[in-house]
Structures are given as C-alpha cells and as structure tokens.
Amino acid sequence: MGGSRIERFTCTYSSRFLAVREIDEDLMSTNSIDSLLHESRRFPPTAEFSAGAIAKPEIYDEAKADRVGFWADQARDLLHWHKPFTETLDWSGAPVARWFGDGELNVAYNCLDRHVESGNGDRVAIHWEGEPGDTRSLTYAELTAEVKRAANVLAGLGIGKGDRVAIYMPVIPEAVVAMLAVARLGAVHSVVFGGFSSESLRSRIDDASAKLVITADGGWRKGKVFPLKAAVDGALAAEGSTVEHVLVVRRGENEVEWSEGRDLWWHDEMAKVAAEHVAEGFEAENPLFILYTSGTTGKPKGILHTSGGYLTQVAFTHKNVFDLHPERDVYWCTADVGWITGHSYVVYGPLANGATQVMYEGTPDTPHPGRWWELIEKYKVSIFYTAPTAIRSFMKLGREIPDGFDLSSIRVLGSVGEPINPEAWIWYRDVIGAGTAPIVDTWWQTETGGIMISALPGITTLKPGSAQVPMPGIKIDILGEDGTRVDPPQGGLLVVSEPWPSMLRGIWGDPERFRETYWSRFSAGDTWKYFAGDGAHVDSDGDIVLLGRVDDVMNVSGHRLSTQEIESALVSHPMVAEAAVVGAADEATGQAVVAFVILRSDQEGAQTVDEASTILRAHVAQQIGAIARPRQVFIVAELPKTRSGKIMRRLLQDVAEGRELGDTTTLTDTSVMQIITDKLN
C-alpha cells in the first residue's frame, strides 16, 4: 500500500483528476466497496406492482432502437406544444445541444392551465404545511390563478422574455408561484437557497445581472423566524446593483427595513393586477433557469437550463421512476426549492404531470422528531423522495419514532444526493416502506437537470447500494484513464456519451469554463462525452455503483460544496494566513467540512485556539451559509505540501478521519505531519 500511496498523492494533486488506476487501488481496497460489489440481496418487483406499473419493460428496447425518436415521443406525449417541433435534436453546435429546436411551448401552461382545461382544476396541486402547523391546500385551478396574477405583477415591473429574476425564499407556495410566473413570461429565474448568506446571494444576483428579487420577510426554521429580507438588503447595499425592485412576501411577520420605491409587498401588488393572463409560447431553447452550484474552483457556476428538453425529461423521469398515478398518488419530495431536486422534482416534474404533492416548510425534527412521519400519515403520502443523510439520522433516533405513525400509504421510496449505504437502504425499505416498497436510488446532478441512473419500479430487480441502470434514452459509460471502456468489476470515471434532453446548455457567462469543466476530459474530434466528476463501478450484473466525487467537491448532506470556496472564505478573514479544507467521512452527513488553518504571525496568541476556531467557523457560515460551516477548524503551524507546493489534502483527510498516516516521504518536510497530529492530540 505504501508505494502506491506516494504515487497516489503525487498524481492526485499534479493532475486535475484522480487517475483511474489510483481510483481502483484506492476504492477496491476498502471493504465497503468490496461488499457493495458483492451485495447479494435482491428484491424483485411483485407481480402485482409490475401489472399496475407505469413503466413497461419495452421502453428500454424502444429507446435503444431509436434513442432520439424515443425522446421525441416523450416530448409529444407528456407536453403541450404551442407550436409542434419537427426537429428533435441538433447537435451540430456541440457541446451545446438544441432539443425540439423549432417547437414552442410555455412551461407554466404545461404545469398549470392545461390541467385545469382538461377538467382537473379541482385536484390538489400542493398540500402545504408551515413549520408552526399552519396549512394551505391549493388546487390546480387556484395555483393557476395565483400564477396568472403574479405574471401580471412581474410584467408590470418590466419583466419579460430573457430577464433574470432572483428568488430567495422559504419553502412556501409563493416560491412555486414565483418560479412559474417567471417561466410564464419566458424570463429566467435564479433561485438562491434561503440558507445561503447575503454575500452568496449578492454574487449570484450580480453574476446573472438580475433585475428583480423576490423574497419573503422571513421563514420558519427550528421554531424561529430566520430573516430573509435583511439578507437581500445586505446583498443590494453596494452601489451599482442591477436590481430595480424587491418583491416581499409576508410570511415571518418579522420587522423589515423598507426601501421606498424599490421594495414592494407581494400581497399589495397581487391585489392590484388583472386576474387573467394568457400564456404565450416560447421557443423550446428559451432559457428557463440558472442554478448555481459549486465546482472545483472558488466561484460557483451558474448552470443554465432551457425549456422544452428540460421539461420533457423531468416529466418523463418523474412519472416513470416514481410510478406516478396522478389521479390517486400523493407525492412528497423533501427537497428545498433552492436546489435542483426542488426545481425538477418539487416544481417542474410533478406539476407537469398533474401530481398532488406535499410541501413542508420546516425541519424534520420540529417540534418533534416524528414530524415527517406525522405528515405522511396525515396526507397519506404514497411516494416519498428524500436523501440518505436524512434516512441515516432517523436510523440513529430509532425505529420507535416512525413506528408510532401509520405509514401504510407508502408504496414507492426514492433516494437522492449521495450513495445510499446498504444498511440505510434496508432500514428505509423495512421501517418506512413496510418491507415491501421499492426503493429507487436516483443518480443525477444539477447539470443533468433530471434523473439519469435509477431502477424503474415494477421492472428492475433492486439491489441495495447501487443506482443500477441508466434511464431509457440515456447513454452512460464508465471509462478508464485512456478513455476506453473499463470492464466490470473495474472502476473508472462516469461519462454521459450521448446528449440528453435536460442537459445543461452552458455555464452562465462562461462558455470556456463549460467546455473545460465537462467536455475536455474525454471528448475527441466529433465525439463528445460529458464528464460528470463521479467515480463509478459496474458490477458483475452490469449494475452501476456510484463511488463519489473524484474532484475537490465535497458532498455534505447531499449538498455540493467546494473545498476551494471554503478555503477562500477562510483566508478572507484577517486572522488567517493559509487554509486547507477537506471533506471527511461523517456518519450522519456523508462528508463533513474540516478545515486546517495557519494563523498570521501577528495573530498568534491573540486568541486561544478554541476561540479562533469558533470565530472562523462562524465566519464561513456568514460568508457562504450555514451549510458550509466547518465541523472542525484546526489551527496548525504548517500544512503538508508536495515538493511542487500543492497542499496534500488527502493526507489532511487521513488526519481528519482519524486514520493512521500513510507514507509521507513526498512531503517537503516530513515533520509537518507530526506537528499537525501532535497539535490535534
């Protein structure tokens, strides 16, 4: 092991990505991967489930026979087109795809009006539950009416096709109304998760030159109101902002500062406008939204999605992966609308399919640890979609809590955000799914827009710990370092080998970074391969087992964080001379942020180590948001570096995870690690 380790360190940090040979050595040598690849438990679908399932086995063959034609069929079957398309895919501008390029549609009309027009206006679209226990149910007719008014408000504020609107809100129905109103006008939303700091909001508003911000006074979380409007005020404080107006929804009832002329109450404006609004068709490639996500460098990337292809794939996957029967199912995805899961599987997928869903504002443990299960019982939720980190934290609390509620309505369970360990998978199925509900482990990314790899309930024989099979119409390969396919059970890097409808169309304002990040690794000539940044194995059954990121991106509670972004936040503090951040394995959150910091020499001794670490943890939370707050900040005298001066994060990860250190002979100064470990002990 020693020899390969040295090589691994040097390779890891001298090339941008882990070499595949190294991934193999590294991952194959750990017991967990070994046991994943030899997972022997199998859960075939029941005959009853298969008989009633939406997805029929033939779709795999249909998609294989004519991949592009398959997507054209889905686009026609699942959506309403103001102007039908005649051209399905234009890949001549690769790596920027055009799907259904000469067609026109209105995304909001597809999510709203058409359900009302087809006689389903009285179906509940959203059963919303506020954290304090207040509730609202909105039918499709009511939601459509709200969105029409909101579209009129926005149009009155000068918002039209192509304009960017930032949305910074709690999980309340108005967040959905705001997104759909923007979409209805052919404008572009940029939703910023309400847990992000004022600073993060500011950089996103500026990057997209947003004209309008839609926010709330505050939202409920853990029994308290967290202020949102104040963060918007902070983000707009600097001169020269492109923002003309701020629309504020009354939710927290907390005090807010008011900037006359700029700030407007949502309820005042909604009362002033006409109720009717006719949805116009926009071209299929009209941008729908920008969503920022962390990459390997400090600056978040504005991932751009467009309309027709995106809506086709999220509607198709939502219907087939979750076996949605809209007339009888009650669906609940626990994601915040500020993440891609909230965009695709709270807003666009479910509403395009006319689903009835539950939306919950608060945290799972407020006011008691059974809140989620209480909601499942109350609304008779039949399809439940959440993240492994949540499942693991419920496991820790014990099954007595969910056992205290009637969860018999559950018939499909979904998982997303990170690999789900087999123990959590089995617990999820046994305790939440009564030992019978199929679990779909869905692999995808902000960039892919929709689900790419997942079992299909009623078809796939399930295997814990593996996302299993590409969706029909999706071509995935696991490649070795040299770009050739690796054979099972070897590991490699996951690529998408053919364009897909909901693929990102770029990084906002940065076409070079788009090509470089995703397309430079394996593309050659006319062959374009999308590099996802994940390592994966194919097991002997041909199932795909995901192994996590191979770049400097961490996955904390299913959320993506960049080590560099947090390092930049740390060094922005006057106390800090140098910082290194690693993602350390964490039982509850998958990975946790651990920072190693060298203080400036003039600061040494100014605070105790504990004080400094507390200050810096708070500083990161204030700079980026609470999700980025390091679990630990270690104040150290030196950081381990290679001879070429790169910080050896992998070594720090060993320290952070409490492992014995490997061979450190490539360090410039081998005493460094001794100093670090001594300091920690």
Binding pattern for the stretch 282-311 against ligand WT7, x by CB under 6 A and - elsewhere: -----------x------------------
Cis, peptide link before residue 489, omega less than 30° from 0: yes
For the CB of residue 442, give the shortest distance to ligand WT7 in the complex, in Å: 5
* Beta-strand pair 263-265/383-386: unpaired
User: Count of residues binding ligand WT7 (CB under 6 A)?
Assistant: 23
Stretch that binds ligand WT7, among 32-40, 221-229, 552-560, 672-680 (CB under 6 A): 552-560
Rg (CA), the chain: 25
Residues 453-492, interacting with ligand WT7 (CB under 6 A): 467
Stretch that binds ligand WT7, among 317-325, 425-433, 437-445, 662-670 (CB under 6 A): 437-445
* Residue pair 337/538 in contact by the 8 Å Cβ criterion: no
For the CB of residue 457, give the shortest distance to ligand WT7 in the complex, in Å: 15
Residues 557-576, interacting with ligand WT7 (CB under 6 A): 558, 560
Which residue, 249 or 532, is less far from ligand WT7 as judged by CB?
532
Query: DSSP characters for 614-650?
Result: HHHHHHHHHHTBGGG--SEEEE-S---B-TTS-B-HH
Q: How far apart are CA 558 and CA 570, in angstroms?
A: 22
Q: How far apart are CA 168 and CA 189, in angstroms?
A: 10
The answer to whether 441 contacts ligand WT7 (rule: CB under 6 A) is yes
The answer to whether 446 contacts ligand WT7 (rule: CB under 6 A) is yes
* Residue pair 185/214 in contact by the 8 Å Cβ criterion: no
Which two structure tokens, joined as six digits, stand for 556?
């904390």
Q: How far apart are CA 431 and CA 372, in angstroms?
A: 14
For the CB of residue 303, give the shortest distance to ligand WT7 in the complex, in Å: 8
Residues 54-83, interacting with ligand WT7 (CB under 6 A): none
* Residue pair 262/229 in contact by the 8 Å Cβ criterion: no
Which residue, 370 or 419, is less far from ligand WT7 as judged by CB?
419
Which residue, 416 or 655, is less far from ligand WT7 as judged by CB?
416
- State which of residues 12, 139, 215, 555 lies at the interface with ligand WT7 (CB under 6 A): 555
Q: How far apart are CA 232 and CA 224, in angstroms?
A: 19
| Helices (H), ranges, 573-627 | 609-623
Strand blocks (E) in 322-361: 330-333, 356-360
* Residue pair 476/496 in contact by the 8 Å Cβ criterion: yes
The answer to whether 356 contacts ligand WT7 (rule: CB under 6 A) is no
SS3 content of the chain, % helix, strand, coil (to 5): 35, 25, 40
Give the position of tokens 């056992």: 403
Q: Helix, strand or coil for residue 311?
A: helix
The answer to whether 413 contacts ligand WT7 (rule: CB under 6 A) is no
Q: How far apart are CA 398 and CA 618, in angstroms?
A: 31
The answer to whether 502 contacts ligand WT7 (rule: CB under 6 A) is no
Which residue, 469 or 597, is less far from ligand WT7 as judged by CB?
469
Stretch that binds ligand WT7, among 33-41, 213-221, 270-278, 527-535 (CB under 6 A): 527-535
- State which of residues 70, 379, 444, 530 lies at the interface with ligand WT7 (CB under 6 A): 444
Stretch that binds ligand WT7, among 131-139, 376-384, 410-418, 568-576 (CB under 6 A): 410-418
For the CB of residue 620, give the shortest distance to ligand WT7 in the complex, in Å: 19
Q: Which residues of 585-609 are buried (b: 16+ CB within 10 A; e: fewer)?
A: ebeebbbbbbbbbbbeeebeeebee
Stretch that binds ligand WT7, among 66-74, 136-144, 435-443, 613-621 (CB under 6 A): 435-443
Which two structure tokens, joined as six digits, stand for 22?
């190294």
Which residue, 282 or 444, is less far from ligand WT7 as judged by CB?
444
The answer to whether 151 contacts ligand WT7 (rule: CB under 6 A) is no
Which residue, 382 or 445, is less far from ligand WT7 as judged by CB?
445
For the CB of residue 441, give the shortest distance to ligand WT7 in the complex, in Å: 5
The answer to whether 534 contacts ligand WT7 (rule: CB under 6 A) is yes
- State which of residues 176, 340, 432, 579 lies at the interface with ligand WT7 (CB under 6 A): 340
Stretch that binds ligand WT7, among 135-143, 546-554, 639-647, 663-671 (CB under 6 A): 546-554
For the CB of residue 305, give the shortest distance to ligand WT7 in the complex, in Å: 12
Q: How far apart are CA 646 and CA 224, in angstroms?
A: 43
Residues 218-257, interacting with ligand WT7 (CB under 6 A): none
Which residue, 144 or 190, is less far from ligand WT7 as judged by CB?
190
How far apart are the two ends of the chain, measured CA to CA in Å? 25
- State which of residues 414, 419, 458, 499 lies at the interface with ligand WT7 (CB under 6 A): 419
Which two structure tokens, joined as six digits, stand for 301?
């990337």
Count Cβ atoms below 10 Å from residue 125 Cβ, excluding itself.
27
* Residue pair 23/535 in contact by the 8 Å Cβ criterion: yes
- State which of residues 130, 350, 417, 501 lies at the interface with ligand WT7 (CB under 6 A): 417
* Residue pair 161/186 in contact by the 8 Å Cβ criterion: yes
For the CB of residue 470, give the shortest distance to ligand WT7 in the complex, in Å: 13
**Displacement of CA 23 from its chain's centroid (Å):** 25
Stretch that binds ligand WT7, among 223-231, 241-249, 262-270, 528-536 (CB under 6 A): 528-536
Q: Which residue is at the shortest CB distance from ligand WT7?
A: 446
Among 56, 55, 58, 108, which residue's Cα sits nearest to residue 79?
108
Q: What are phi and psi of 578, to 5 degrees?
A: -150, 150
The answer to whether 616 contacts ligand WT7 (rule: CB under 6 A) is no
Which residue, 245 or 319, is less far from ligand WT7 as judged by CB?
319
For the CB of residue 545, give the shortest distance to ligand WT7 in the complex, in Å: 9
The answer to whether 549 contacts ligand WT7 (rule: CB under 6 A) is yes
* Residue pair 128/170 in contact by the 8 Å Cβ criterion: no
Count Cβ atoms below 10 Å from residue 231 Cβ, excluding itself.
23
Question: What pairs with residue 126 in β-bridges?
Answer: 138, 357
For the CB of residue 420, give the shortest distance to ligand WT7 in the complex, in Å: 7
Stretch that binds ligand WT7, among 100-108, 444-452, 457-465, 665-673 (CB under 6 A): 444-452
Which residue, 422 or 548, is less far from ligand WT7 as judged by CB?
548
The residues, any chain, with a CB within 8 Å of residue 588's CB and separated by 6 or more, are 389, 392, 393, 396
For the CB of residue 454, give the shortest distance to ligand WT7 in the complex, in Å: 8
- State which of residues 27, 359, 546, 652 lies at the interface with ligand WT7 (CB under 6 A): 546
**Which residues are near ligand WT7 by CB under 6 A?**
293, 340-341, 416-419, 441-446, 467, 532-534, 546, 548-549, 555, 558, 560
